[in-house]
Structure 1
Amino acid sequence: MKLHHHISKIPTEYTLPLRQKVLKPFLHVDDCVNVGDNDPTTFHLGLFHERKLVTICTFLTESHPQFNAGNPYRLRGMATDPNYHGQGFGQILLQHGTVLLRQKYCDLLWCNARIKAFPFYEKMGFAYHGPLFEMDRIGPHKIMYKYLNPR
C-alpha cells in the first residue's frame, strides 16, 4: 500500500486541536499552547495523510539539569489522531524531525514520556532517565532521551 502523506513545518495553531484531542482533553483547545511554542528556535512539524493533519510534534530548545548537552532540544506534544494509530506516522514524523535537529547540530533530544508511549520511544532509540513522576491531570511519566550527534 502506498502511503499518501507529506510533512511540513506548521504554525502553533495547527497543533492545538490534536494536542487537545489526544493529550489534554480536559483543557479547552485554546489553552493547549505550551511555554516556548512561539520562540524563534521552536518548530512544529505536521504529517498530513491525504491532506488531513494526523500527526504533530514540537521541538524546542530546552536544556535539562540532568543532561550535559551543548545544543539540547525537547520534544513536546507528540500526538497522532487515534483514527490513524498503528500506521507508522509518528515514527515517520519523529525520524524527519531528528534529521532536521541534526542539521541544527542538536546533540540531545529529550521528552517527558507517558507510560503508554514508552514502547514507541524505545523503538525510536530513546533511553530512560530517572524514576516515574506524576504530571497533574495527565498521569505518570518518565524522562526519555536520545543523543543525536557523536559526543
Structure 2
Amino acid sequence: MTSKYEIRLNSKIDIRRIYTNETLPLRKKVLKPFLTEEECINPGDDLTSTYHFGLFQENKLISISTFIQEGHPDFLSTFPYRLRGMATDTEFQGQGLGGILLQHGVEYLRQKECDFLWFNARIKAFPFYEKLGFSYYGPLFDIKDIGPHKVMYKILIPK
C-alpha cells in the first residue's frame, strides 16, 4: 500500500517523499564529494514548502531530488520552484531512473499549481535536462569547486 506521497512504479521501484537527512549521502557522493554531509544541506531544505523525493529500487535509495520554493531574479512567476540536489547514484546512472524521478517532481509541482521550475545545471547534465524539455537561460558561469553551469528552466502549466 502506498501513501499519497508515494508512487509504486513496479514491484522493485517506487518514489517516496523523504527528509533532508535522507538526501545527504547521495548529495555528498554524487554532487559534492569534497564536503561533509552536513555541508551539503541547502538553504530552504527544511521549509514546509520544500519537497524531497527519493526513488528507491528494492528499498535502496538510488535517486534524489529537492524542490525549494524560490524564484529566479530574472523571471516573473506566480509560484516558482527551484530544483536543488538532483542526483542518481553512479551505479544506476544512464538507466532513466533520474528522469522518472524528475518527471514525478514536475507533475507533483504542477498539481500544486507551480508555474515555473528552474535550476543551475552542470555541463555534463545538459543532455539529461534537454531530453526532459528544459531550456537554457543566460551565459555559462562557474560554481567554485564544482565547475561550469547554466541556468535551465521549464514553464509549467498548472493542472
State the TM-score, normalizing by the size of structure 1.
Answer: 0.96
Structural mapping, 1:75-114, within 5 Å: 75-114=83-122
Partner of 2:74: 66
Question: Residue in 2 aligned with 1:56?
Answer: 64
- Give the match's secondary structure for 1:56: strand
Among 120, 142, 150, the residue aligned to 1:142: 150
After superposition, the C-alpha distances for 1:107-135 in whole angstroms (9 at most, x for unaligned) are: 00000000000001100100000000000
Q: Name the CA shift for 1:132/1:3 in 2 (closer, same or farther; >3 Å).
A: farther
For residue 71 of structure 1, report the CA deviation from its aligned partner: 0.4
**Could you tell me how far apart the structure 1 residues matched to 2:129 and 2:11 are?**
22
1:9 maps to 17
The separation in 1 between residues aligned to 2:21 and 2:141, in whole angstroms, is: 29
Specify the SS of the correspondent of 2:106.
helix
Equivalents in 1 of 2:11, 2:62: separation in Å? Answer: 13
- Distance (whole Å) between structure 2 residues aligned to residue 108 and residue 90 of structure 1: 20
Give the one of 33, 38, 42 matched to 1:30.
Answer: 38
Structure 1 letter corresponding to 2:105? G
TM-score by length of 2: 0.91
Partner SS for 1:25: coil
The question of 1:132 aligning with 2:140 is answered: yes
Q: How many residues matched?
A: 149
Cα distance between partner residues in 2 of 1:122 and 1:47: 21
Unmatched 5+ stretches in structure 1: none
Q: Distance in 2 between matches of 1:86 and 1:21?
A: 17
Where does structure 2 lack aligned partners over 5 or more consecutive residues?
1-9
1:4, distance to aligned residue in structure 2 (A): 1.6
